Amino acid sequence: MLVNLTEMLQDAEKNNYAIASINTPNQISLRAVIAAAEEVNIPITINHAQNEDEHIPIEIAVPLMVDYAKKSTVPISVHVDHGLDMKHIMKAVRLGVTSIMYDCSNLPLEENIAEVKRLKELIDHLGISLEAEVGTMPNNMPDEVHGQERSDLSDLSVYYTNPKDAQIFCEQTGVDVLTISFGSVHGMYEGEPKLDIPLLEKIKEVTPNTALGMHGGSGVPYDQVQKAISSGIRKINYFTAIDTSPAPHLLKMIQEADGPLNFYKIADRAMEIIYEKTVEILRVCKNEAARS
């Protein structure tokens, strides 16, 4: 069922779990991710990031996502991930998304606040949930995207969210989700990830009425993910771990093929692997260990 992200976040807060926010840039991923959510019986957010337009235009992606979400047996929000400009975001609104991340984190705090407030005034009456970001998420993506070039990862603390800035931002914008930086990285990690849970707890303390989001879930040890959930994270973005999971299996499949190999068989196998990886991640987001 297609729902508002805020509704899902309220249940996640009440029951101490996190909403997995997963990019689905093709129909194989879309089908696999929704099937996994139905298997685990947990709400999810399916994302279309602005930088994915070059692979699948939003005019194709979002109507398909909305249709699948409406037919699903679990609550699903269709989400703009890292919307960078108003033109793209308003196009998404017309196509039927139920939540938006307006990423102005590269701007000074005051400008970030002003931009996010401007969008909130435009979409508030439509019942569309709004996510924003304070602090800067470092990037180490397998493929560099313009505007999201690789970051210096030698000292992640330089990217951390300042609790006071987070407090001011939430008080002045009233966003539904605030994504914070406390040790996670977009893409691949160099070395062992280490989330700053005490920093997360400080931010949670001063933003009691706002759901907190974490991007860069891929590669973070699951015990740290569940500590973050127990300390207040309510939305976690995953993409790299899911999107790269089929590659080694498909390579082996192709190498071991005895004769011609139909593409539909490759696609079916990719969907199976994405499904299995998503189920694994969703069980962590369900935070069953913390509730047992």
| Distance between CA atoms of residues 50 and 224, nearest Å | 29
pLDDT at position 185 is 81
Express each pLDDT in 247-260 by its tens digit.
Answer: 999 999 999 999 89
**Rounded Cα distance, 187 and 195, in Å:** 15
User: Average pLDDT in the 193-218 region?
Assistant: 95
Q: Domains plus CATH for the chain?
A: 5-291 (3.20.20.70)
Query: Is residue 65 pLDDT above 70, yes or no?
Result: yes
CA dist list (Å): 238 to 23, 141, 159, 198, 289? 7, 12, 19, 22, 20
At residue 94's C-alpha, the angle toward residues 93 and 100, to 5°, is: 10
- Which phi and psi angles does 20 have, rounded to 5°? -75, 130
pLDDT at 291 over 70: no
- Indicate the DSSP class of residue 55: T
Name the β-bridge partners of 131. Answer: 101, 177
Residues 6 or more apart whose Cβ sits within 8 Å of residue 275: 32, 33, 35, 36, 39
Which pTM value belongs to this model? Answer: 0.91
Stretch 120-139: mean pLDDT, rounded?
A: 90
At residue 192 the predicted structure's pLDDT band, cuts being 50, 70 and 90, is: confident
Stretch 62-71: mean pLDDT: 98
- Mean pLDDT over residues 273-289, rounded? 89
DSSP class per residue in 168-232:
HHHHHH--SEEEE-SS--EE--SS-----HHHHHHHHHH-TTSEEEE---TTS-HHHHHHHHHTT
pLDDT tens for 16-55 read 999 999 999 999 999 999 999 999 999 999 999 998 888 8
From the list 53, 67, 81, 223, the catalytic residue is: 81
pLDDT for 155? 60
Q: Which residues pair with 235 in a beta bridge?
A: 19, 213
Tokens of 234: 């309510």
Could you give the maximum distance between any two Cα atoms of the chain, in Å? 63
Share above pLDDT 70 across residues of the chain, in percent, rounded to a whole number: 89
Asked whether 48 and 58 are in contact (CB, 8 A), the reply is yes
Active site residue 81: yes
At residue 206 the predicted structure's pLDDT band, cuts being 50, 70 and 90, is very high
* % of the chain beyond a pLDDT of 90: 78
Both tokens of 6, joined, read 């805020």
**Is 146 a residue whose pLDDT tops 50?**
no
